[in-house]
C-alpha cells in the first residue's frame, strides 16, 4: 500500500515513520510513505499556500489551487502506474485510491474505518493547517473527511500519522504475530473489543514495592497465566470498559 501525505511541514513525519513497525515495513517494501510539500505546488515566488477566509474572519485557510494541483499530480502518477502494469486498460482506474481530508467537522475515525481503508492500494491524505482548508476542497476533491476526536489540533499531521499507523498494522506481514492482531483492542471480528491488561509470562517472576507493600507479579496476576481464565478476564474487561483501550 502507498500513503501520500500533503502538508506544509514535511519534516514533522521523519522520526515517527522511520522507527519501529512502520520503519521495518518500509524497508521490507510492505508499505510506501511519501510526503509532499504543498508549497511545491504554489505558483508565486513566495510559494503562498494560504489566504484570508471568504467573507473575512480571523486566521488563514489553505487555498484550493495548490491542493488541487498536488492531488492531480498524484492521481496522474497512480494512473500511469496502472497503465504500465495493465497495458490493456486504456481507462485510468482510481477505484483503489481514497482521498482523505482531516478537519474538526469530519467523521470520527474508528477501527472500522482503518479496516475498510486497508483494502485500498493508495491513500492520499490532506493535512489542514491554520483555520482549516478552503471548503471547496471538501466539496470537489476528497472522498471523505475525518476527525480523530473532539479536541483541537494545530494541523492534520498527527491524524495522518494515526491513519498510517492503524491501517499499516492491518496489512499482511506488517505485524510479526497474526494472533496479536486478531485479539487486540477494537479488532473487527474479535471476541474482544478491549484488550486486557498484560503482565509478564510466568517464570519471569519479580517482586516490587507499591506504597510500602511488597507485591509479587505472579501472585497478583495469576489469573492471566491460565488460558481459560484469561479469556474470561478479557470478556469482563470489555464489559467494564467498553469504550477504552
pLDDT at residue 71, as a whole number: 97
Is 91 in the same domain as 138? yes
pLDDT at residue 176, as a whole number: 74
Is 133 in the same domain as 219? no
Is 47 in the same domain as 140? yes
Average pLDDT of the segment spanning 161-190: 77
Average pLDDT of the segment spanning 186-205: 52
Is 119 in the same domain as 214? no
Is 91 in the same domain as 194? no
Range of the domain at 218: 189-240
Residue 145 phi, psi (nearest 5): -125, 130
Full 3-state SS string of 182-230: HHCCCCCCCCCCCCCCCCCCCCCCCEEEECCEEEEHHHHCHHHHCHHHH
pLDDT at residue 59, as a whole number: 79
Strand pairing category for 50-51 and 61-62: antiparallel
> Considering the domain boundaries, does residue 227 fall inside one?
yes
CATH assignment at residue 112 = 3.40.1280.10
Report the predicted TM-score, pTM, of the whole model to 2 decimal places: 0.74
Average pLDDT, the chain: 80
3 state SS of 92: coil
Q: What would the pLDDT profile of 89-120 be if each residue is shown by its tens digit?
A: 444 456 799 999 999 999 999 999 999 999 99
pLDDT at residue 198, as a whole number: 55
Confidence of residue 87 (pLDDT cuts 50, 70, 90): very low
C-alpha cell at 11: 519534516
Amino acid at each position: 500500500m502507498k500513503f501520500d501525505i500533503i502538508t506544509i511541514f514535511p519534516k514533522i513525519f521523519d522520526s515517527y515513520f522511520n522507527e519501529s513497525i512502520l520503519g521495518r515495513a518500509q524497508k521490507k517494501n510492505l508499505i510506501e510513505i511519501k510526503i509532499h510539500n504543498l508549497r511545491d505546488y504554489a505558483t508565486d515566488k513566495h510559494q503562498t499556500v494560504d489566504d484570508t477566509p471568504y467573507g473575512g474572519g480571523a486566521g488563514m485557510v489553505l487555498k484550493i489551487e495548490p491542493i488541487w494541483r498536488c492531488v492531480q499530480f498524484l492521481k496522474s502518477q497512480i494512473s500511469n502506474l496502472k497503465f504500465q502494469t495493465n497495458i490493456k486498460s486504456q481507462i485510468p482506474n482510481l477505484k483503489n485510491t481514497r482521498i482523505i481530508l482531516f478537519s474538526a467537522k469530519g467523521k470520527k475515525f474508528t477501527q472500522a474505518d482503518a479496516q475498510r481503508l486497508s483494502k485500498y492500494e493508495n491513500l492520499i491524505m490532506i493535512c489542514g493547517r491554520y483555520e482549516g482548508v478552503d471548503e471547496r476542497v471538501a466539496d470537489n476533491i476528497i472522498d471523505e473527511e475525518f476527525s480523530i476526536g473532539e479536541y483541537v489540533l494545530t494541523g492534520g499531521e498527527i491524524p495522518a500519522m494515526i491513519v498510517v499507523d492503524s491501517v499499516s498494522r492491518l496489512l499482511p506481514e506488517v505485524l510479526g504475530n497474526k494472533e496479536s492482531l486478531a485479539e487486540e483492542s477494537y479488532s473487527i471480528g474479535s471476541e474482544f473489543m478491549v484488550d486486557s491488561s498484560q503482565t509478564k509470562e510466568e517464570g519471569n517472576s519479580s517482586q516490587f514495592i507499591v506504597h510500602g507493600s511488597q507485591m509479587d507479579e505472579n501472585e497478583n496476576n495469576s489469573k492471566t497465566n491460565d488460558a481459560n481464565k484469561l479469556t474470561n478476564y478479557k470478556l469482563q474487561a470489555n464489559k467494564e470498559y467498553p469504550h477504552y483501550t
